[in-house]
């Protein structure tokens, strides 16, 4: 069996096993949708850990990985509290929630990092270590935690599945389009081996899926999501945004001189390799829905 075919089969088998579990934890409403918090903590936590390993790279300067992950969990809990506080009986805390709660946690976290660095680390490399630790919260934890905000809105599961599938189908279309038709390299520094044929294949798949999904939900569930034109535009926008998320991770991996963010998911690499595009897309999709008045 050719190596390329073998890798493709491993990717498909992994998806067949892991996807149903992931979808169940997103869809279920048991225990006030506590599983969605668990999903967010695990996915963002593992991605964050992988980012910290990449950030360490060959520099010798280490992010505050353990402290960063602890505060990553706290950030997730605050986001869950905001999304589900009234359901779980802590509405007194979340009733008047505003961004200052989150800023307070980040400010305290920075103070903790500064204290640890002053007393436990050499002064050299402090800017890099503290900066990398904080950066992980803003490019991984906070964006992915928006999955809980999406879940908490009306028909939230439909929107979560929608944005996940756009990114996934765009990625798959780009992969297979690049493998079988790729001739002209896009020559992006972050990912020089990917082709324009792959990118446009992914874009086409994303547009078609966006339209079909919107029509499917309306016909079979009676829920109007988007017009055909709007669905096509959404397919274009979030296919591009997904690619930007993928290119950002590729750029950071190259900076850290590694190929994959990890090896936790067979055939796909690390957790961040799988969710890099989704992490960027979910918060922007959430705020798009907010601007549209859907939320």
Do 118 and 60 fall into the same domain? Answer: yes
> Measured between alpha carbons, how far is 14 from 24 in angstroms, rounded to an integer?
16
Rounded to a whole number of angstroms, the CA Rg of the chain reads 20
User: Taking 60 as the threshold, does the pLDDT of residue 3 lie above it?
Assistant: no
Q: What is the 3-state secondary structure (H, E, C) of 219-272?
A: HHHCCCCCCHHHHHHHHHHHHHHHHHHHHHHHHHHHHCCCCCCCCCECCCECHH
Please give the residue range of the domain that contains residue 163: 155-295
Is residue 123, in this structure, part of any structural domain at all?
A: yes
Do 259 and 280 fall into the same domain? Answer: yes
pLDDT band, residue 270 (cuts 50/70/90): confident
Q: What percent of the chain has pLDDT over 90?
A: 50
Over residues 219-235, the mean pLDDT reads 95
Do 138 and 166 fall into the same domain? Answer: no
pLDDT band, residue 263 (cuts 50/70/90): low
Q: DSSP letters along 118-135, please?
A: HHHS-STTHHHHHHHHHH
Is residue 25, in this structure, part of any structural domain at all?
A: no
Q: pTM to 2 decimals?
A: 0.88
Domain count along the chain: 2
Is residue 4, in this structure, part of any structural domain at all?
A: no
Do 183 and 276 fall into the same domain? Answer: yes
Do 286 and 268 fall into the same domain? Answer: yes
Do 227 and 118 fall into the same domain? Answer: no
Is residue 199, in this structure, part of any structural domain at all?
A: yes
Mean residue pLDDT of the chain comes to 86
Is residue 161, in this structure, part of any structural domain at all?
A: yes
Is residue 18, in this structure, part of any structural domain at all?
A: no
Is residue 21, in this structure, part of any structural domain at all?
A: no
Do 113 and 172 fall into the same domain? Answer: no
For the ranges 133-142, 190-199, 235-244, the lowest mean pLDDT is seen at 190-199
Q: DSSP letters along 169-204, please?
A: HHHHHHHHHHHHH--SB--BTTBTT-BHHHHHHHHH
Do 186 and 275 fall into the same domain? Answer: yes
**Residue where a domain stops, chosen among 121, 152, 183:** 152
pLDDT tens by residue, 40-80: 999 999 999 999 999 887 677 889 999 999 999 999 998 99
**Residue where a domain stops, chosen among 152, 187, 215:** 152
Is residue 17, in this structure, part of any structural domain at all?
A: no
Do 119 and 205 fall into the same domain? Answer: no
Do 37 and 172 fall into the same domain? Answer: no
User: Taking 80 as the threshold, does the pLDDT of residue 288 lie above it?
Assistant: yes
**Residue where a domain stops, chosen among 120, 152, 184:** 152
User: Taking 90 as the threshold, does the pLDDT of residue 261 lie above it?
Assistant: no
For the ranges 8-17, 47-56, 133-142, 279-288, the lowest mean pLDDT is seen at 8-17
Do 241 and 287 fall into the same domain? Answer: yes
User: Taking 50 as the threshold, does the pLDDT of residue 95 lie above it?
Assistant: no
Do 294 and 159 fall into the same domain? Answer: yes
Could you identify the residue written with the tokens 């890798």?
A: 7
């Amino acid at each position: 069996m050719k190596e390329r075919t073998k890798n493709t089969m491993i990717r498909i088998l992994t998806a067949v096993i892991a996807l149903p579990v992931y979808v169940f934890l997103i869809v279920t409403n048991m225990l006030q949708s506590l599983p969605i918090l668990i999903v967010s903590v695990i996915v963002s936590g593992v991605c964050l850990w992988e980012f910290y390993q990449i950030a360490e790279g060959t520099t010798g300067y280490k992010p505050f990985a353990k402290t960063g992950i602890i505060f990553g969990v706290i950030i997730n809990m605050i986001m869950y509290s905001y999304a589900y506080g009234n359901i779980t009986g802590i509405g007194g805390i979340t009733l008047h929630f505003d961004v200052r709660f989150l800023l307070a946690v980040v400010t305290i976290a920075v103070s903790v990092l500064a204290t640890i660095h002053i007393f436990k680390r050499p002064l050299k490399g402090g800017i890099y270590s503290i900066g990398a630790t904080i950066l992980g919260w803003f490019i991984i934890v906070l964006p992915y935690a928006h999955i809980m905000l999406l879940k908490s809105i009306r028909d939230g599961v439909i929107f979560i599945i929608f944005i996940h599938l756009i990114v996934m189908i765009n990625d798959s279309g780009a992969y297979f389009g690049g493998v079988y038709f790729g001739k002209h390299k896009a020559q992006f520094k972050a990912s020089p081996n990917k082709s324009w044929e792959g990118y446009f294949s992914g874009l086409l798949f994303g547009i078609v899926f966006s339209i079909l999904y919107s029509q499917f939900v309306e016909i079979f569930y009676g829920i109007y999501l988007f017009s055909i034109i709007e669905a096509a535009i959404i397919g274009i926008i979030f296919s591009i945004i997904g690619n930007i998320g993928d290119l950002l991770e590729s750029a950071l991996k190259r900076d850290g001189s590694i190929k994959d963010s990890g090896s936790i998911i067979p055939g796909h690499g690390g957790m961040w390799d799988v969710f890099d595009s989704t992490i960027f897309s979910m918060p922007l999709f959430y705020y798009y829905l907010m601007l549209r008045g859907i939320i």
